[in-house]
Amino acid sequence: MILFLDFDGVLHPEPCFDRTQFFCFLPKLEMVLHDFPSVKIVISSTWRENRSLHELRGFFSETIRHRIIGTTPHWRDCAELLEVIGFQRQTEIEAWLRNSPEPWESWIAIDDKSYLFRPFIPNLIKTASAIGFDEVAEMRLRTLLSIS
């Protein structure tokens, strides 16, 4: 299972004017991930656009960072696929999957912007931007990971 992870509105509120609040919900997400050790993580957040994979891994605990296997490409680099899919974040995910060694692997995305995905997509966990990864999102993630 691959988890495509957004940061803003998921791991901290968006907007987040207080830098000390960055990644304030990350411990809650990591608690879930500890219970599902086979889940791999791909960063789909816009933070990937100006930070290296090494820098992105640095936000996570030692026990989780090795499970971060990459970042999605930018939708502008997948223009032909975007024309077919029509939704930016989903295009980025599909492009990453198509270029991975196991393009058929199951996936879940956690994001606060559902308009970047096809409507009613069952493997999207939508968070509220101002709330982030809360108990509802945690329960949904645990449920989806348990049935995969």
Domain count, the chain: 1
Beta carbons within 8 Å of 57's beta carbon, 6+ residues apart = 65, 66, 68
CA dihedral 25, 30, 32, 38 (to 10 degrees): 150
CB count within 10 Å of CB 98 equals 10
Range of the domain at 9: 2-147
Q: What is the pLDDT of residue 77?
A: 87
CB count within 10 Å of CB 148 equals 14
| CATH classification at residue 70 | 3.40.50
Q: What is the pLDDT of residue 79?
A: 84
Q: Does the pLDDT at position 16 exceed 90?
A: no
Q: Does the pLDDT at position 124 exceed 90?
A: yes
Q: Does the pLDDT at position 148 exceed 80?
A: no
Give all strands (DSSP E) within 44-141, no chain letters: 68-71, 107-111, 124-126
- Residue-wise pLDDT for 28-85, tens only, equals 999 999 999 999 999 999 999 999 999 999 999 999 999 999 999 998 888 888 898 8
